Amino acid sequence: MRIFFLLLLSITLLLISCGSDTGEGKPVNIYGGAGRTNSYEKYGSFSYKYPVLDEIEFKDSSGAATAPLVLPNSDIIVSTVNGNIIYISSKQVKWSFKLDTDETPSASIAADANMNIYIISTTGKLYSITKAGLLNWKKIIIDSLAKYDLISDLLAQENGIVTAVSNGKIIKVGYNGKVKWTYTARLSPIKTFSADEKGNIYIPLTHDEFGKTDTLLCLSSDGKVVWQKGFDNTRFIKSPVVFKSRVIIFGIRESGEQKISTVNYLEVNGKVLWKKEILLFARNLSVDLDGRIYVTGYNSGIGEAMSGIFCYSPEGKLIWKNYFEVIIPSSPLLSKKYIGFVVNDKNSAGLYFLKKDGTLYEVVGLENMPPLYLQPAVTSDPLIIFSGADRLSIVSIEEAPFDKFLPW
């Protein structure tokens, strides 16, 4: 009996430890981490299909200004249009922090390994808030902002936080609030960028025009240029994804009246290993733990919208593709068995779930939900969640209420 008990205990501990990489002790970034892979496979599979609306009771009822940030314990940070930073635990407000008067968050937020929260405001002020909701420090790190300057999403690294401005300035700030370095590019950094496990940062620089030559810039963690590579007649619009020793980025090329999307697969030293073209206008990409690449694209205009999702092997072989008469506005979210992505049409939004072989598995309608900020996040359950766009609320895709009480 003793041996049986020890064996049972060992199996139980093994099961508990499997998939327990919750990210605790690591910086927290949107899009699945600093590599922006959108992979949540370590948490298991998306298996729920019922949208649940939770109205969050708080004095500020305005909607989300940015995507929610999910902490390793599945607590949620929401930033509102009225400038409140709200910590939500078990669907209740645990604490809130108000930015200075007339300031609102200007980009997606991040957290360091100690769960201090970082927000950059519309005035270029960076805030550091403790996990208990108290101010560590605040500092203007971007001055002389022009009217149409855009501030990038924050990138949290082991030794500081990186942001950029569309005027070309890239800044890294230490977690003590001191500026570590500034780099000035001659082109505009795009909204989001990524980093590898060594801390190298990969930033697309763009002319914001089709037909020009945009550049992929690699900076070291201490702000030195590692390499930079121009891509002829290519416009970058989204962050690269960094997975292990590879960098994947798509760009849009002009060919006569046609715009062609090209997926570029590079080594981290900048060497291009392969390129693939897709006929649709590429919008987002994700990479799973096996290195498979998922690219979404859609063409909009006169007539019905047409979107596609394309799956490539790490060697560049097209594994499968699937088309839908909807718009896919967000990145594919990758779980162990299923791929989830947001869709919308003329009337409403929803979620499609595909199996890993590309076949449609489930459709979840969001037509009865209030307007949502359509950049989702994922908890460790794993649940896909959205912030309300016009009032403070959280919508999560959960199991049916009666299923929660069944013993199987």
Q: Categorize the per-residue pLDDT at 230 as very low, low, confident or very high, splitting at 50, 70 and 90.
A: very high
CA distances from 85 to 74, 171, 254 (A): 16, 23, 42
Helix (H) or strand (E) holding 377, with range, is strand 372-378
- Spatial neighbors of 124 by CB under 8 A, at least 6 apart, are 140, 141, 142, 143, 145, 151, 165
7-35: b or e for each residue (b if 16 or more CB lie within 10 Å)?
eeeeeeeeeeeeeeeebeebbbbbbbbbb
Q: For 243-271, how does the pLDDT look when each residue is reduced to its tens digit (9 = 90+)?
A: 999 999 999 998 777 889 999 999 999 99
Q: DSSP of 217-267, one letter per residue?
A: EEE-TTS-EEEEEEETTEEE-S--EEETTEEEEEEEEEETTEEEEEEEEEE
The pLDDT score that the predictor gives to residue 303 is 60
- Spatial neighbors of 227 by CB under 8 A, at least 6 apart, are 218, 269, 270
3-state secondary structure of 343: strand
User: CB-side exposure of 20: number of CA atoms within 13 Å?
Assistant: 6
pLDDT at 15 over 70: no
Q: Return d(Cα 204, Cα 202) in angstroms, integer.
A: 7
Q: Return d(Cα 211, Cα 214) in angstroms, integer.
A: 9
Q: For 350-373, how does the pLDDT look when each residue is reduced to its tens digit (9 = 90+)?
A: 999 999 999 999 999 999 999 999
Fold for domain 24-405?
A: Methylamine Dehydrogenase; Chain H (2.130.10)
How many other C-beta atoms can be found within 10 angstroms of the C-beta atom of residue 237? Answer: 18
- Spatial neighbors of 220 by CB under 8 A, at least 6 apart, are 199, 200, 201, 226
Q: Mean of the per-residue pLDDT values for the chain? A: 90
3-state secondary structure of 142: coil
Q: DSSP of 25-86, one letter per residue?
A: TS-B-STTSTT---B-GGG------EEEEEE---S----BSS--EE-TTS-EEEEBTTSEEE
Q: How far is CA 84 from the centre of its chain?
A: 21
The pLDDT score that the predictor gives to residue 257 is 76
pLDDT at 20 over 90: no
The pLDDT score that the predictor gives to residue 22 is 45
Mean local confidence (pLDDT), 105-125: 96
The pLDDT score that the predictor gives to residue 401 is 63
- Spatial neighbors of 61 by CB under 8 A, at least 6 apart, are 391, 392
End-to-end CA distance of the chain: 27
Locate 17 and state its tokens.
């430890």
- Spatial neighbors of 177 by CB under 8 A, at least 6 apart, are 126, 128, 136, 137, 139
The pLDDT score that the predictor gives to residue 236 is 97
DSSP state at residue 399? -
Model pTM?
A: 0.91
